[in-house]
Amino acid sequence: MSTARFKDRIAYITGAASGIGQAAAVRLAAEGARVFAVDVNEEGVQQTVDTIRENGGTADGGLCDVSRMDAVRASIGHAVETYGGLHILVNAAGVGRMMRFEELDEAEWHRIIGINLNGPFFTTRVAIDHLLKERGSNIVNVASIAGVRGQAYNAHYCASKAGLLNFTRAIALEFVSRGLRANCVCPGGVITPILQHFIPREDFDQSVMAYYFPPVPGLMGQPEDIANVIAFLASDEARMVNGVTMVADFGVLA
């Protein structure tokens, strides 16, 4: 495998302060991409940027609340101004929290949808003109196996990720003739900061959650495992891969 698959490529990565977004930023930069990393966690973004630079890569970044179109417009504008273009968009920012449906209020519904679904729409809408300037540009959205199959106590999160899957498919079809690809990676359990919000409570009905878990109990992924998938989908090696839902879950959905 080439260690410079992304030479001369510019990547804008959301959720880059930790977890999958951070791992994707580090991985793409290690293979030559110039990375613009964003998150609402300023300290975490700076750590990501510092890590990339310490390892000889090129990175910049800053704060961006992806649930706000004005913030996204300013951030992507800054990224394009900094590096002179945009070739790869990775939407890794995401939030979630298990709860009973009766506990789910309007504010929490809008919070989840605002970041998990509106966020990728906003970034794609702002980035699309830049991405279309060069054939071979692409989008990788981080969804979840919760978007492929329903999960009890997770209605809001499932809705946001299922919407992201079909949003990605629609973009993939609309722009394929113009040289732009769009794909989704759907992780199962991965050890990231968000995982703490998906620990089933004692008052949940355990019988409706058995399918959550991998065939081998306790088998969990690392952010770098998903970064590997993102790097493949974003590379020219995947030039025929468009509109796919690539599952990485140790066989949970099998």
157 is a catalytic site residue: yes
Active-site residue, selected from the candidate residues 83, 153, 157, 212: 157
- The amino acid present at 138, given as its one-letter code, is N
User: What residues are labeled active site?
Assistant: 157
